[in-house]
Structure 1
């Protein structure tokens, strides 16, 4: 449907971004009687939703650094609440939605011989501790009894446990269901790209599309993932928000060599600045394998050879050797929206009628039912059930770790890239590399800024990305002026 199909191109609410977050918000608002337009190109270039594994869980993503801060725990608890919303959310997407969309029965977390104790063992333990803390069920699995797993001997799993409540959905099918439900509820899907948020003084008036068409509304919500930044750059208040960058990632869909697939998600803990190796069943002998994570100032639309080779080697070495002979059906590239302090941006955007819902990093799809309900309430002038104040887009950088802790974390995560790529070193070299690498990181963070330190993955990437370094330095300079 085009913009001109709506009366005068005028709406109550315009949502920029037709990924899972944007469509979910549009669906909630349309069902509440609002005239809503969701703007986005149908093929969703640069999106994160289309390339995601769509794991419906938060415990499998836990790291020791996440739960060491109040901000991290707040984010975790939002994820726990979102998990409880998914059964009703899926039921509301039409007959048979749950049967069609759910592809995995729980999640099995493995601790294997790849990686480092300082990351893999501690994160494996942290996941179990938090499951116990929040009284969530899980059960230990003997590695010899792991269904479907057949890793190479030097990458074999040492321990494992199963989380029965953390499932996965088919993200492509989910987007179709959300779109259809949104349109059925009276929403308008506008194919195209918004290039500007229009405003008169401090009041939003609508958006302008690349075609030159204008849509008008008194409320505009930006849910365009990492591409939201381009719209914020031209808005009052945009310089008071943490900038957005992309967590570019590569994933693949493959048909397994023997036509089989596991019943559950199989994953490792998060490691090496990324979200851990994970394999997700997609039905009929198809599996999803993901995903890499590289911070990039600009969203990416094509996979680098190094990322693809790395991902595929990890999959057949660490999960199932027979994948080596499996045909690849699709190579996917996605861009996770990452705020430079690492936390979501959820709330009012500094101009009356402007709302921001992005910066969700790896959690956007999982959080979508909760965030959609909460943001809809705020747009309609109602109190939310959850406190999003910490994640207000207009904020000082959230700092959850000391500079020394971030340096330690950067060093360990960077060092851990080696074992996963099967490097071998003389024993003494681990110590010698550390003697040189850690001081180099210390000097580097001092060059980024004398006081503020970005998260470890941004520290790492900024050493070889001058655009990211420039962005961080300018943002921290603004922070001192504004706050």
Structure 2
């Protein structure tokens, strides 16, 4: 048995949620080690969207405490980006291609105003095909690959310990790796996305996780005037001298990271309707990721029901957005601080333990 520094917190998963949680715990005076396999997860594969308006407030059924949680997390990103020295892209341009989409965006503007956020009507850029456009200064994105490197550097600068390995078995206060190493820690946090589902026999709440496959494409194309363009399910990001186009969403696809031709072609066809010049753009890269989802599309954050094990997964489409708030929430929870009960009820992993 390998003993970590005592008292110790061991985090499984080096994606945005794991790293932001580690950073928050370190800032609060905890000693933290992080186990990561080195494989690319959903955080690496995503578009890095920080979009509480478009992803949450646009849904009238989204619980209010969850919207507020997301908005606070979006605010945290501004400070975290400055500390870790990476850029946030803004503003976002929301496009309506049909009358129905225009009505939905007008409704979202009213919701945004009620939340103290700006969503203003603007002219549709000539290069884009749409009936109406709204600009959202507070909706941002980041480059996931660059941000992951910066967050890891910050985690280590704060004294966090990085352990490379694949987690294989878990029990109360204990974690086993594929290579035979075992670790004992006062607190273990599973923040490894859909990968945490492999521990479902030991942690029943994890049986609620399901994979939603998403695929994205990068094309060679001049960057757009607006760095983020969104229209219904599709987004186009000006990044790295080209465009990143995302994202498919298929809960019925096999949970593998292969790129499937038909969904990618459908994504490109939709992008061409929005931006006709994509028709002649050279495809540079295509990739896939598995989003960790739950039956109610809300995360699993908090005590797992198994002594010493906490969960930080099930973030679905919003892992990057929610990562700082999840980190702060877990640090406060582990430290015994009083948290909002309504939010705790929404996020509690034990809602699926049975």
Distance in structure 1 (CA, Å) of the matches to 2:87 and 2:103: 33
Q: CA deviation at 1:164?
A: 0.9
Distance in structure 1 (CA, Å) of the matches to 2:54 and 2:112: 10
Q: CA deviation at 1:385?
A: 6.0
Q: CA deviation at 1:376?
A: 1.2
Runs of at least 5 residues in structure 1 that lack an aligned partner in the other structure: 199-203, 270-275, 397-478
Q: Deviations over 1:214-245 (max 9, x none)?
A: 1110100011111211113223xx1x566101
Distance in structure 2 (CA, Å) of the matches to 1:338 and 1:39: 22
1:125 to 103, 106, 109: 106
Contact map agreement 1:141 1:160 (CA 8 A) in 2 = yes
Map 1:236-251 → 2, pairs under 5 A: 238=204, 243-251=208-216
2:120 to 127, 134, 139: 139
Q: CA deviation at 1:326?
A: 2.1
Equivalent residue, structure 1, for 2:28: 32
Equivalent residue, structure 2, for 1:89: 80
Q: CA deviation at 1:175?
A: 0.2
Distance in structure 2 (CA, Å) of the matches to 1:296 and 1:185: 41
Equivalent residue, structure 2, for 1:48: 42
Contact map agreement 2:216 2:244 (CA 8 A) in 1 = yes
Equivalent residue, structure 2, for 1:226: 194
Distance in structure 1 (CA, Å) of the matches to 2:104 and 2:42: 25
Contact map agreement 1:110 1:267 (CA 8 A) in 2 = yes
- Which structure has more relative contact order (CA 8 Å, sep 6+)? It is 2
- The alpha-carbon distance between structure 1 residues 18 and 231, as it changes in their structure 2 partners (threshold 3 A), is same
Equivalent residue, structure 2, for 1:172: 145
Contact map agreement 1:242 1:339 (CA 8 A) in 2 = no
Q: Deviations over 1:101-128 (max 9, x none)?
A: 22x2211100014xx83xx345323321
Equivalent residue, structure 2, for 1:347: 302
Contact map agreement 1:82 1:367 (CA 8 A) in 2 = yes
Q: Which stretch has the larger CA shift, 185-194 or 157-166?
A: 185-194
Distance in structure 1 (CA, Å) of the matches to 2:27 and 2:60: 36
Q: CA deviation at 1:311?
A: 0.9
- The alpha-carbon distance between structure 1 residues 380 and 172, as it changes in their structure 2 partners (threshold 3 A), is same
| 1:312 maps to 2:293 | no
| 1:13 maps to 2:4 | no
Equivalent residue, structure 2, for 1:466: none
Distance in structure 2 (CA, Å) of the matches to 1:41 and 1:195: 11
Q: Which stretch has the larger CA shift, 306-315 or 384-393?
A: 384-393
Map 1:192-203 → 2, pairs under 5 A: 192-198=165-171
* Structure ranking higher in helix proportion: 1
Q: CA deviation at 1:193?
A: 1.2
2:223 to 257, 260, 268: 260
Runs of at least 5 residues in structure 2 that lack an aligned partner in the other structure: none
Equivalent residue, structure 1, for 2:278: 323
Distance in structure 2 (CA, Å) of the matches to 1:384 and 1:296: 36
Distance in structure 2 (CA, Å) of the matches to 1:346 and 1:358: 7
Partner SS, residue 157 of structure 1: coil
Equivalent residue, structure 1, for 2:60: 67
Contact map agreement 2:12 2:192 (CA 8 A) in 1 = yes
Alpha-carbon RMSD across the aligned residues, in angstroms, is 2.2
- The alpha-carbon distance between structure 1 residues 33 and 53, as it changes in their structure 2 partners (threshold 3 A), is same
| 1:289 maps to 2:245 | yes
Contact map agreement 1:247 1:295 (CA 8 A) in 2 = yes
2:70 to 75, 79, 84: 79
Equivalent residue, structure 2, for 1:413: none
- The alpha-carbon distance between structure 1 residues 77 and 63, as it changes in their structure 2 partners (threshold 3 A), is closer
Contact map agreement 1:48 1:335 (CA 8 A) in 2 = yes
- The alpha-carbon distance between structure 1 residues 369 and 63, as it changes in their structure 2 partners (threshold 3 A), is closer
Contact map agreement 1:344 1:361 (CA 8 A) in 2 = yes
Partner SS, residue 131 of structure 2: strand
Distance in structure 2 (CA, Å) of the matches to 1:332 and 1:192: 23
Equivalent residue, structure 2, for 1:431: none
* Structure ranking higher in strand proportion: 2
1:101 to 87, 108, 129: 87
Partner SS, residue 37 of structure 1: strand
Contact map agreement 1:245 1:299 (CA 8 A) in 2 = no
Q: How many residue pairs are counted as aligned between the two chains?
A: 352
